[in-house]
Amino acid sequence: MSAIDKLFTELRREGRKAFIPFVTAGDPDLDFTRDVLRELDSRGAHLCEVGIPYSDPIADGPIIQASYTRALEKGIQLADILRMAGEVTAGARAPLVTMVSYAIVHRHGLRQYVAAARQAGIAGAIVPDLLIEESDELSAICRAEDFSLIHLVTPTTPRERAVRIAESSTGFLYYVSVTGITGERSNLPVQLVDNVNWLREQTDLPICIGFGISQPEHVRQLAPVADGLIVGSALVRRMAAAKDQPRDKVLADVGALASELMAALES
C-alpha cells in the first residue's frame, strides 16, 4: 500500500474526509513553500499537493498560472523542489503528491522521476496532461514502486472513459468539479453531486473533488459525497502576498483559511 492508500483507509475507518491544499513550489521562493507546507501540516491537512511550475499549464486559472510564472522567472529547478520536499516529508504527517506536467516527467525520464520523487518522500503524482491511452508505461512503474498515479475525470468525460480512468488510477481519483480552468467560484454546478454519486458506483477508489472550492459552504455541500476536497486558488492567492508582506502574517492567513475549511469539513 502506498502512503495515500494508508491515509484513505484510515480516514474511511474513522468516517472522516481529507482536506487537500495545493501549493505552488517556489512562489515566492522555496523557503516559503517549505514553511507553508509545514504550516498546513501543523493545521491538520491530510495530504498536500505541490505544483511543479510549468510554462504551459493545463487547466490552471490565472491565479495559479501567475504563481507558476513568478516561480519560473526565478529559475526554479525540479531538483531544488524535490530537495525542499524532502525537508518537509522528513517531519510531516501529511503525504505529499506532485501536480506535474507529463512533459516534465518525460524529460526527466519516467523511472528517474518516480525514483527521485520517492527518494524525496513524495507519495504520488497527478499528471493532468497524461492521456489514459498513453499512461501504461508510467502506470506500471508507479505500481511497482507503490507510488500513486492519480488521474482526473471531468464533467465532460464520457462515462465509458471515466470508468477506464478510474480503473487505471491509484491512490485516489481526482474529480474536476467544473468545466474549464481552476479558480475561486461563488457557486458549484448543480449536477456535481449526482455526477460524483454515479462515479462512486463505478469504483472503490477514494474520490476527491477539486477546482472552484474556496468557501466553507462548498465544503459542507460536497463533504457528504467526497472522500476529500482539494483547495488551490483560494490558498495560492493568499500565498502570493508573501512577496511583499511579512511572511509570518501570510502564513497565519493561509493557516486560518485552511483551519476554517477543515472545520467545515468536520461539521
Active site residues: 49, 60
Distance of CA 94 to the CA centre of its chain: 12
| Calpha distance 148→126 (Å, rounded) | 8
| Calpha distance 104→206 (Å, rounded) | 26
Task: Report the alpha-carbon angle 221-225-227, nearest 5.
Answer: 110
